[in-house]
A and B are shown apart, each in its own frame.
Chain A
Amino acid sequence: MDAVYINPFINALVHAMETMIGISPERGTPYLKREHATQGDVSAIIGFAGPNVTGSVALSLPTLVALKVYSLMMGEKVYRITSDVQDVVGELANIVAGGAKTELSTRNLGFNISIPTVVVGPGHTLGHKGDVPVIVVPFGFGKHRFMMEVSMRLK
């Protein structure tokens, strides 16, 4: 998948985290996902489809990262994955999908996005379309690491 299609998702995630929680995450080197399971404990996935494109984007966070993001966004500490923590991860994925949509629509690649689905538990799998390659983009801030997954097919 061409970087030109991945960059809008990366830009949207960085902008969302800078604006909503005051953190500029550093991006690692993207790679093709080969394993089935995700590396995070809390993931949010959003499907999208338009006249010229279809796919999905997911954020997958280890428990400690999800708790950190929640505390930074909401201004309060939590010590376990509550429904509110899941809600924050889902909302972050929603903002990423919306931001990428805004940028991609200028390239005639507009799409509609679904309501986010949040999955919790170690070693879970995400429902990207089976026949479309998934690109994993690692991110980090401080000692924390998490992943964004983008799967996208042009029609």
Chain B
Amino acid sequence: MKILVVDDSTTMRRIIISSLKLAGFPDVVEAGDGEEALKAMKGISLVLTDWNMPVMNGLELAQRLREDSANDGIPIIMITSEGAKGEVMEALASGVNDYIVKPFTRDTLAEKVRLIARTHEVRP
């Protein structure tokens, strides 16, 4: 399962990627914003994206991914500090499948990824 991690913070990407590898998901690629992410979608099975990013934010990225049928069945998890109810609803409406609020523990992240991979029968 190839996972795309999108965050403008290089250290947050490192934390997420190391957590995924520890949890048994070694195949991870990364992007620094939504535009870079759109160019890196080949072979991706799951997208983890931040919301608040320059150039193209996570909400726009989710909307763009959902507009393209090539991405049908690819779950999107938003990882963001934006945990207000209105933001969660807005993200889900834009096509995000699940939501993790920062700060998070490595265990929370791993469990969410495992759960959504099972629920969506993510392609290997």
Q: Which residues from chain A sit less than 8 Å from chain B, CB to CB? A: 15-16, 19-20, 70, 73-74, 83-84, 87-88, 90-91, 94-95, 97-99, 101-102, 105, 110, 113, 115
CB distance from B108 to the nearest CB of A (A): 9
Task: Mark each residue of chain B from 54 to 97: 1 if its CB lies under 8 Å from any CB of chain A, else 0.
Answer: 10000000000000000000000000111111100000000000
**Contact in complex: B84, A110 (CB < 8 Å):** yes
- Per a CB cutoff under 8 Å, which of B12, B53, B86 touches A91? B12
What chain A residues lie within 8 Å of B11 (beta carbons)? 70, 73-74, 84, 87-88, 91
B86-123: contact bitstring with A at CB < 8 Å (1 yes, 0 no)? 10000000000000011111000000000000000000
Q: Please determine whether A16 and B10 come into contact, CB atoms closer than 8 angstroms.
A: no
Question: Do the beta carbons of A115 and B10 come within 8 Å of each other?
Answer: no
A101 near B82 with CB under 8 A, answer yes
Q: Is the CB of A15 within 8 A of B103?
A: yes
A97 and B12 CA atoms in complex are apart in Å by 16
Residue of A nearest to B51 (CB): A98
| Complex interface: chain A residues within 8 A of B84 (CB) | 101-102, 105, 110
A97 and B81 contacting across the interface, CB-CB below 8 Å:
yes
CA distance A113 to B80 in the complex (A): 12
Q: Which residues of A contact B86 (CB under 8 A)?
A: 105, 110
Question: Which of A83, A87, A88, A99 makes the CB contact (< 8 A) with B83?
Answer: A99
CA distance A15 to B103 in the complex (A): 8
Question: Can you list the 10 inter-chain pairs with the closest CB atoms, starting with the nearest?
Answer: A98-B81, A19-B103, A105-B84, A102-B83, A87-B11, A16-B103, A95-B81, A20-B103, A91-B9, A102-B84
